[in-house]
Structure 1
Amino acid sequence: MPSDLLAPALPTAQLPAHLVASSTRYVETGLRGAANTVRAYAGDWKRFTSWCALHRLESLPAPVEALAGFLTELADAGKKVATIQRHAAAIAKAHALAGHDSPTADKKVKVLLKGIAREKKTRIKQAAAFTLASFKRTIRSIDVSTPTGLRNRALLLLGFTGAFRRSELEALNIEDLAFDEEGLVVSLDKSKTNQLGQAEEKAIFYSPDPALCPIRSLQAWLRVLDRTEGCVFVSLRKHQHLTTRRMTTKYINLIVQQYLGAPYTAHSLRASFVTVSKLHGADDSKVMNQTKHKTSAMIRRYTRLDNVRQHNAAKELGL
């Protein structure tokens, strides 16, 4: 969000002068959210302020009519429901940061958004999940005679078995990895749902098949890196030359699509972990222990069971 919005309203009259700046900073941090969300919202907010300026309307605080007109124009332009909803969320965030009531709370706007969603009849697009058999074939097909192949195999196996978000894979450092005879424990400082930096851990286990083992694959890649600290997944230049540049989430997504196909994204690694785990009988608590979801409702949302035969009680009728 633009820096001029980062001035949340505080009851500063009762605060000692030396605490005002700190209190404002803490509230700002609490309202900001995840870094990726901040970047997306900043672009949405800029689009809204430009639209308001063009139509000579106030953007902060924005009247309900301005927001309604802006959202309607997005809908008429063919924007997806999810995109329109994100713009509304960005506008709400900007108002919260500036200490204003948001026009998104108005009943008229809520009805408008519901009408847009209903008329478009658009489901929120979810990352596709792959089958375990197809994933195994993909992993076995990777040429691991090069640093690129070793890195990409480790990335895919770790991303899947650890149910990682792409932002977590991007931020992963060698210092976060603890190997022992039982496997690997990965420590996460922060994640999308863990903005306070409380300690979170993911457990990765050995596979009996070395070609499919996330731990052995990661260790093979770390031997190529030949470092004891710094980012785990780095970019490579031409002729397989290592860099110290951390791989971006965009590039991680491209690697997943390169190997698994266009329908899939980096988020498919996480969604597929949930789906495959549920198909193999794992209860929600075990799945949540790896994904770090807070509720079973989120596990149900992540489970991709599009094939009617995959998970069906009709198999168990006893006829």
Structure 2
Amino acid sequence: MLDDRAATDPLATMTVLPDAALTEAQIAAIRRVAERADALVEASLSANTRKAYGSAWRQWSEWCLGFGLDPQRADAPWLAMHLTALSETRKLSTLELRRAAVLEVRRRLGRPLSFDDAQFQAFLAGLRRTKGVRPSRKAALLEENLRAVMLLLVPETAPDPKRRLRDRALLLTGFAGGFRRSELAGFDLRDLSFTPEGLVLFVAGSKTDQERRGDEVGIQAVPSSPLCAATAVSAWLAARGDTPGPLFCRIDRGGHLTYGIDGRLQPIDSKTVARLVKRVIKGTGLAEGEFSGHSLRAGMMTAADRKGVPLEAAMQHGRWKDARTARGYRRHSSLWVGNFTDKLLSE
């Protein structure tokens, strides 16, 4: 295990590799491996994870080459030094991803790196003691925000009513279902069904379901509410039609649905969800930089907490597997539910 000094000063245990002077041919070979790093990662991981791992390995490779090192042979202290340098501008969650990426690609290359969980936790503890950690969290998109947003997305008064119908349905579904932006972008029309109680969406695969077993999420219909996701989705489907393809499809600048050469509607990507959230929030006068695609998922958990929904029920609905992670989605507004500190000062 790295001791306290090694955790904050990786050079304390640094070893110089015997092949520090790399030839041009070796450097070219290293860069070829870096370019195909995402293909080396286990197929059981999601496409987004493989892409992130590939990017992390490429950055690790270029960093090592800057020191004349082979990234396929550099040992744990060098990785600690790399992560320490990243910690100046990156969150700890990013460091965790970088470590996982390097270890996974090294394993796949047949050159495993020994930097186990105990070592890594000691390393993180050293970082926390020296610089501290403040979580960076985006604001939750709550009911009051959504009510204001719906007033901005009235389809009857817009030159592009289909876009507004889609955006209303997407936002309200994301909030009610606590969906990740990748899940919203990934829904196919076949994943949706209606029941007398409301609508059901099948999540084919997600961040916490790497084996793609799938899960169903039910959203109850509340026709009397302007925030009813079932009503919004029904209105969107009337405009979208039953053409095969993504549930929330791409719309061009002219307000028309876009089709591929196979006749299927074209999908949006997860960044479209994030841009939509920022755009509508800006329209309400709030700071768009405080919100992201994750604000819908945080909004569901925070609203559930404010209304006394048991954590276990909210976790099941949002498909969280870890209670600590789920609690992290509760934003500051839920701190005042049942708060007693005012009573400490009352006479």
Same fold flag (TM > 0.5): yes
Cα distance, 1:229 vs. partner?
2.5
TM-score normalised by length of structure 1? 0.83
Residue deviations 1:77-123 (CA, integer Å, cap 9, x gap): x3343333332222122223334433432866654433334333232
SS in 1 for 2:254: helix
Cα distance, 1:215 vs. partner?
0.9
Q: Which residue of 2 aligns with 1:273?
A: 300
Cα distance, 1:160 vs. partner?
0.3
Q: Which residue of 2 aligns with 1:218?
A: 233
The root-mean-square deviation of aligned C-alpha atoms, in Å, is 2.7
Q: Are residues 315 and 106 of structure 1, via their aligned partners in 2, closer, same or farther at CA, if it must alter by over 3 Å?
A: closer
Q: Which residue of 2 aligns with 1:75?
A: 87
Aligned residue runs from structure 1 range 136-285, under 5 A: 136-145=147-156, 146-209=161-224, 211-243=226-258, 244-260=265-281, 261-285=288-312
Q: Tell me how many residue pairs correspond in the alignment.
A: 297
Residue deviations 1:125-176 (CA, integer Å, cap 9, x gap): 1222133222222223312231111111111000000110111111101101
Q: Which residue of 2 aligns with 1:13?
A: none
Q: Which residue of 1 aligns with 2:133?
A: 122
Q: Are residues 197 and 53 of structure 1, via their aligned partners in 2, closer, same or farther at CA, if it must alter by over 3 Å?
A: same
**Within 2, Cα distance between the matches of 1:55 and 1:208?**
63
Contact residue 178 and residue 300 of structure 2 kept, 8 A: yes
Q: Which residue of 1 aligns with 2:324?
A: 297
Q: Are residues 197 and 80 of structure 1, via their aligned partners in 2, closer, same or farther at CA, if it must alter by over 3 Å?
A: closer
What residue ranges of structure 2 are gaps of 5+ in the alignment?
A: 1-33, 259-264, 282-287
Q: Which portions of structure 1, spanning 4 or more consecutive aligned residues, are displaced by more than 6 angstroms?
A: 4-8
SS in 1 for 2:290: coil
Contact residue 182 and residue 205 of structure 1 kept, 8 A: yes
Contact residue 302 and residue 330 of structure 2 kept, 8 A: yes
**Within 2, Cα distance between the matches of 1:200 and 1:291?**
10
**Within 1, Cα distance between the matches of 2:62 and 2:276?**
35
Aligned residue runs from structure 1 range 29-40, under 5 A: 29-30=43-44, 33-40=45-52
Q: Are residues 99 and 117 of structure 1, via their aligned partners in 2, closer, same or farther at CA, if it must alter by over 3 Å?
A: farther
Contact residue 6 and residue 97 of structure 1 kept, 8 A: no
Answer with 38-47 or 293-302: which moved more: 293-302
Cα distance, 1:39 vs. partner?
1.1
Answer with 102-111 or 268-277: which moved more: 102-111
Q: Are residues 281 and 170 of structure 1, via their aligned partners in 2, closer, same or farther at CA, if it must alter by over 3 Å?
A: same
**Within 2, Cα distance between the matches of 1:249 and 1:183?**
25
Q: Which residue of 2 aligns with 1:24?
A: none
**Within 2, Cα distance between the matches of 1:139 and 1:159?**
14
Structure 2 residue 73 is the aligned partner of structure 1 residue 61: yes
TM-score normalised by length of structure 2? 0.77
Identity fraction in percent: 29
Contact residue 6 and residue 98 of structure 1 kept, 8 A: no
Residue deviations 1:227-273 (CA, integer Å, cap 9, x gap): 24210112211221111321111111010111123311111111110
